[in-house]
Amino acid sequence: MGGDALPRLREIRAQGPGHLRAKALTMLVDLAGAESLGERDKDAVDRLVRIKLLSELPVKVPSEAGRWLALPAERFDDALSVLELHDLKAVTTVMGVAAATKATGSISFQSAKGEKRTAYRVFITPEFENWLTGARWRLLWGNSFLDELDGFILAGKISERCGEAHFYVIDPYNGSESWYVARDGRSVRGYSTYAHPQFSGEPLPFEIERREDSMDDEEEAALYAEGVPETLTAADSLSAEPGPMLADHTHGHGWLATTHADCPNSRFPGALPI
C-alpha cells in the first residue's frame, strides 16, 4: 500500500488497538521517515535519545568492512563547512551506524527551487583519542555519500581546510583494502590492494617503525618491506581504529547530518535502533 497506509497507521498510533500501536510507530518511520510522526511521538523519541546518550559508553563502530573518513576533532566545524552538511542531530552511536551503513543512505527530492536533487545522510562519531599521540579524531560514515562523492577526493578537500584527513576502505567481497592520507590539500601517502603500484608517496614514520620491528621475522619483513598494507593498522597508528572504543578515549557524542538544507534527517525512511 505504501503511502496509502499512512493515514490508517496514524489512526492506530493515536487510537489503538493498543497491541498494534508500537508496530504502527515503526511502520510509519519505515515508510516515510520521522517526519510522518506526530509531535508527541517525535518528542518521545528525542527524549529517549537524550537519555541513552547519558550512559552509552563504551561505543563500537564497525571494523570488519566499510569505508570511512577520519578528520581532526578540533576542526569539526571546518569539516562541516567543507562537506556542506546540514541538520545536525545528536544520536547514539548504534543509531548513527545503522543510519549510515544499513538504512537508506540517499533519497531524491525536489528542492525549494523546484530542482530534482539527491541528498545523502552521514554519521559523524564522537571524538576518539589516539592512544599513541593523544590527538582526537572523528570518523565519518556514510556508504552512499562516500561512494558517490568519492572518499579520496573528500579527504583532500577536508585536509585543505583542516590540515589533515584520511580515507579508509575494507572490502571483504573483493578482498581489498585501501588507506589514504591527505595533508594541506596534497596526497601524502596511500595504499590500495589492486593499485599499480600499491603504495604511493613516501613511507610514514609508523611504517618505518613497523618495518624495523619486523626485521627478525622473515615473513613479516616481506609483508612490511614497502610499507603497511593493513587498513586497520594504519588507522590505529594515524587516527582511530574502528571496533570497540575505550570509554576513557571517547568524548562527546555522535551526529547525524544531511547534505542538503531542504532535506532534513527526518525525511529519510527507516526505523533506527537507539
Domain ranges of the chain: 2-53, 60-267
Task: Check residue 220 and give its pLDDT.
Answer: 86
CA 116: distance to chain centroid? Answer: 25
DSSP 218-257: HHHHHHTSS----HHHHHHHHS--SEE--GGGEES-EEEE
Task: Check residue 170 and give its pLDDT.
Answer: 96
DSSP 11-35: HHHHH--HHHHHHHHHHHHHHH-GG
Nearest to 151 by CA among 133, 132, 171: 171
Residues 6+ apart with CB under 8 A from 224: 207, 210, 211, 214
**pLDDT confidence band for 15 (50 / 70 / 90):** confident
Which segments within the chain are labelled E, that is strand? 60-61, 66-72, 86-91, 106-110, 116-124, 127-129, 136-141, 164-171, 176-183, 186-192, 199-201, 243-244, 250-251, 254-258
Q: Does this model's pTM top 0.95?
A: no
What are the pLDDT digits (tens) for 45-72?
999 999 999 999 999 999 888 999 999 9
User: Which H or E run contains 93?
Assistant: helix 93-101
What are the pLDDT digits (tens) for 126-180?
999 998 899 999 999 999 999 999 999 999 999 999 999 999 999 999 999 999 9
Task: Check residue 219 and give its pLDDT.
Answer: 86
What are the pLDDT digits (tens) for 81-92?
999 999 999 999
Average per-residue pLDDT for the chain: 93
Is the model's pLDDT at 2 over the cut of 80?
Answer: no
Task: Check residue 33 and give its pLDDT.
Answer: 87
Nearest to 228 by CA among 181, 187, 179: 179
DSSP assignment letter at 204: P
**Cell numbers at 153, concatenated:** 577526493
